[in-house]
Amino acid sequence: VSFRGQSPAKSLRTVRKENELGMVTYHILDTPTPFLLLLADADRLRAYFNNVLNLIIRSNNLTIPVVQK
């Protein structure tokens, strides 16, 4: 993964975790990135990120707020 012309960031490790969306694989990166939702995962989970409302929305109307701490 690369951000704004920077050198590609390599995954340090991966973690698989069940959450409200289903089973998700998280790639741990050494970058100031809050989270990444891969398009392939979004398609598989039938979800999308609404960047106006900061929500992840699934086709079954489940909404998950995205909060940056």
- What's residue 13's pLDDT? 92
State the amino acid at position 59 in one-letter form: S
What is the SS3 assignment for the chain? CCCCCCCCCCCCEEEEEEECCEEEEEEECCCCCCCCCCHHHHHHHCEEEECCCCEEEECCCCEEECCCC
The full set of domain ranges for the chain reads: 13-65
Q: What does the pLDDT look like over 8-45, one tens digit per residue?
A: 878 899 999 888 888 888 888 887 776 667 777 888 88
**pTM exceeding 0.95:** no
